[in-house]
Amino acid sequence: MKQRIGKIVCICCLALWMVACGEKEDLPRFAVISDLHFGREGASEKVPRALKNLLNRQPAIDALFIVGDLCNSGKQTEWDECLAVLNDTTVIPGNVAVYCMIAGIGHDMESREIAGQYYMDLLKQPAHQYIDIKGYPFITISGVGGTSSSGDYDTGAQEYLADKMADAARNYPGKPIFVFIHEPPSNTCYGAQAHEGWGTDFFLPVLNRYPQAIVFSGHSHFPLGDPRSIHQNVFTTVNDGSTTYSEVEPGLLGIGIHPESFERVTEGVIVNVLPGGDVEMERRDTWRNEEILPRWTVRAPHDGSRFAYKNRDGLPAPVFAADARLTGRPEHDTYLITFPQASDNEIVHHYRLELLENDRVVYSFGKFSQFYLNSEMPAELTERLTGLPYGKTLTPQVVAVDSYFNCSEPLTGEPFTTPSYTPDPKARRPVAALLDVVFDENGARDISPRKKPVLSGPVAPEIRPDGVSLKTAAVFTGDTLSYYAVDYQACPETEAAFAQGYTVETLYTPRQAGHFSPFGFLAAGGGAVIEQLPDGKIRYRMRIGGRTRTVNSPVIVQPGCCYHVVCTYEPGKAVMYVNGAKVGEWNGGTDKTTSLPLDGTNRRITIGGNTAVHGVADLLLPGEVITARMYDRPLTHDEAYLLYRDVRGLGLPDK
């Protein structure tokens, strides 16, 4: 390991001599991988296979760059496993120089108490390196210090990069500068956008001065097949995928970060410097040992004047073949839908599976095209749609969406009718033991056994009949002054329900699209909130076991329509019902405790918004709330349906 890792090859003079003598210029060819995660199940098989598939290709590879997250939790046993592979000449040929970076606390470092240099000593490398390979500059940066806000990089790393970038620009004029950092620069390549959450702006002040920089990063595990994995604006950034498993945009389709078959996605990049100075990149699917086309080319001169991957819009939009057909069949209370893949000039990223009632989209599901499976990408897709409204005639349609959110014309199927729902005759309408707020000429009051005071925000909401349900409602303006709140600081029954199980119920009418809440108590690290998202979907978001968990629904809210929402929680499980139908569920495994807000001043339930810090409210609702209740146990589906049946004549769908 010592004689191979960190080897510096400097042959500038030799290269010039060869050119002068008419010899073919010897140019760098190197491979880039990241996110090995030794210690995670499957890594000991996936990583050697990926390395062999990359390094056994011809022409020969000069160097291998491993850009962080070599291990899964930084334990010594994981490092032993990692080093055994890196030292195995049947995996990495002895003539390949290996340069490793560590990503910092969490994966590569077991704890901050063990200095980052300890792990670099295991690798027999310095934390940061400045390397010449065949007359081209390479800079590697490791995360051996710093804070979470700087992505485990300290000011020394930033200063090192600034110094070496300046040196490379001075001593390698006209050439690209190859930079390797585990976390991608913010708002550059796929995985680095603000809503995706994997980028860092820590090094941007340095990199933004150098259009010749080509930055390789990992961290996100986002697949290389997406064309956004290369990005050019001020400089070039490349996402190198993951060597063990894939992830995707959090929350994009409401299915979490792990798409179908994500364990069968392992990737890397081979980079060739071409005569004339262009840099060509081969995207490699190391699971299937195949290339992902087309190749990317960063063109000389490396001054930003020939950026081919800047300001792309992805047009034209995807299209379905003229003979494409959407088929489906009802199965009990679900609908099984099958459709062929659409085509695109790059990739179809995902599909919107929509259900229409009277030409209006009322439910929307998402499905990835599985572009990341490359040659194993299925020719057609099948999805089971669940949580459908009862007794409704619906028309299915599918819309193909590319990486830039260009949409195809819809592919439409035949209408179908969902079955009705019949609750158990023994089921009874439950009583709200913890909170039951009604609105009348005297304002808002709690008629539950607790009879908690209902407090108004600085401006009392108007009380009048809701225009849809015609039932008396609180009318909220959507600003920071108008809301109701109920304290539960001195209510042990309510606090006990957070741990043992509870249900919240609301009946509300939104007046516009946007992100807001009719009923919430998520603040200061604990609680939960019912949200309406900008795309119109209803979500239940909770703080459980120190982490945020969500129940997503496919329901598309229409402004001016009334919606009945019931959300239950019990240790390890949460369920959402909309208009009587079960539309989403979260199964939490070992996360079995709902956290209370840490600050007692924030232990309040907000109506017409969500509880915020310092006893105020956020996510303010522009609309009406007719019902706001809390029960001291998780309700059953039958009970949720009976609550809906009580109000369905008030302008809601009659299922």
Tell me the pLDDT tens digit for each residue of 103-135.
Answer: 877 788 877 667 778 888 889 999 999 999 999
Cα 572 to Cα 423: distance, rounded to the nearest angstrom: 25
Neighbours of 649 (CB within 10 A): 10
Identify the pLDDT of residue 23.
56
Q: Are 112 and 18 within one domain? A: yes
| 345 & 412 share domain | yes
Task: Say if residue 215's pLDDT is above 90.
Answer: yes
Kindly state whether residue 315 falls inside one of the protein's structural domains.
Answer: no
Is residue 535 pLDDT above 50, yes or no?
A: yes
Both tokens of 76, joined, read 């010594």
* pLDDT value at 480 more than 80: no
Return d(Cα 125, Cα 79) in angstroms, integer: 14
Distance from C-alpha of 476 to C-alpha of 511, rounded to nearest angstrom: 10
Q: How confident is the model at residue 598 (pLDDT cuts 50, 70, 90)?
A: low
Q: Which pLDDT value is given to residue 524?
A: 67
The enclosing domain of 220 has a CATH number of 3.60.21.10
For residues 221-239, give the mean pLDDT: 97
Report yes or no on 611 lying in a domain: yes
At residue 60, what are phi and psi to the nearest 5 degrees? -65, 150
Residues 213 and 172 sit within 8 Å (Cβ to Cβ): no
pLDDT at 346 over 80: yes
Whether 539 has a pLDDT exceeding 60, the answer reads yes
Q: Which residue has the higher pLDDT, 110 or 174?
A: 174
pLDDT exceeds 70 at position 293: yes
Q: Left, alpha or beta for 205 (phi > 0: left; psi -120 to 50: alpha)?
A: alpha
Please name which of 606, 622, 638, 245 lies closest in space to residue 430, comparing C-alpha atoms: 638
pLDDT reported for residue 335: 94
Tell me whether residue 159 is in a domain.
yes
Q: What share of the chain has pLDDT > 70, as a percent?
A: 91
The CATH number given to whatever domain includes residue 487 is 2.60.120.200
Query: Lowest-pLDDT range, 236-240, 446-450, 588-592?
Result: 588-592
Q: Is the pLDDT of residue 248 over 70?
A: yes
Q: Domain of 340: which CATH number?
A: 2.60.40.10
Q: Judge if 393 and 293 occupy the same domain.
A: no
Can you state the percent helix, strand and coil of the chain, rounding each to 5?
15, 35, 50
* 409 and 442, same domain (yes or no): no
- 3-state SS record for 324-384: CCCEEEEECCEEEEEEECCECCCCEEEEEEEEEECCEEEEEEEEECCHHHHHHCCCEEEEE
pLDDT the model gives residue 120: 86
Identify whether 319 is part of a domain. no
pLDDT at res. 8: 35
In this prediction, residue 6 carries a pLDDT of 41
> Which whole number is the average pLDDT over 77-88?
95
Say yes or no: 249 and 393 in one domain.
no
Mean pLDDT over all residues of the chain?
Answer: 89
Residue 547 buriedness (CB in 10 A; 0-12 / 13-18 / 19+) = exposed
Q: What local confidence, expressed as pLDDT, does residue 491 receive?
A: 81
Percent of the chain at pLDDT > 90 equals 72
Residues 61 and 145 occupy one common structural domain? yes
For residue 305, is it within any domain?
Answer: no
Residue 549 banded pLDDT, cuts 50, 70, 90: confident
| Preceding peptide of 316 cis, ω within 30° | yes
Strand order in the sheet with 327-331: 327-331, 334-340, 380-385
**Is 35 in contact with 219 (CB distance < 8 Å)?**
yes
Q: Exposure of 330 by Cβ count < 10 A (0-12 exposed, 13-18 middle, 19+ buried)?
A: middle
Q: What is the spatial distance between Cα 438 and Cα 627, in angstroms, rounded to a whole number?
A: 7
- CA 219 from centroid of its chain's CA atoms: 12
Choosing from 298, 315, 350, the residue where a domain stops is 298
Top-confidence residue, 360 or 524: 360
The answer to whether residues 120 and 142 touch, using CB atoms and an 8 Å cutoff, is yes
Q: Are 62 and 97 in contact (CB under 8 A)?
A: yes
Which of 384, 417, 450 is where one domain is finished?
417
**406 and 439 fall within a common domain:** no
Query: How many Cα atoms sit within 13 Å of 46 on the Cβ side?
Result: 27
Tell me if residue 516 falls in helix, strand or coil: strand
The boundaries of the domain holding residue 28 are 12-298
Q: Is 216 within a domain?
A: yes
273 shares its domain with 331: no
Whether 639 shows a pLDDT value over 50: the answer reads yes
Six token digits for residue 41:
């199940």
The pLDDT score that the predictor gives to residue 469 is 66
pTM: 0.87
Residues 469 and 603 in one domain: yes
Nearest to 203 by CA among 190, 230, 185: 185
Tell me how far apart the 2 most distant CA atoms of the chain are, in Å: 97
Q: What confidence score (pLDDT) does residue 196 get?
A: 81
Within-domain flag for 243: yes
Task: Kindly state whether residues 535 and 598 are assigned to the same domain.
Answer: yes
pLDDT at 654: 44
Same domain, residue pair 263 and 362: no
- Number of domains observed in the structure of the chain: 3
Q: Are strands 267-273 and 236-239 parallel, antiparallel or unpaired?
A: unpaired
Residue 371 counted as domain residue: yes
Q: What is the DSSP string of 9-20?
A: B--HHHHHHHHH
Helix, coil or strand: residue 508 = strand
Q: Which of 385, 417, 449 is the last residue before a domain boundary?
A: 417
Please check whether residues 338 and 235 belong to one and the same domain.
no
pLDDT, one tens digit per residue, over 14-60 is 344 344 444 567 999 999 999 999 999 999 999 999 999 999 999 99
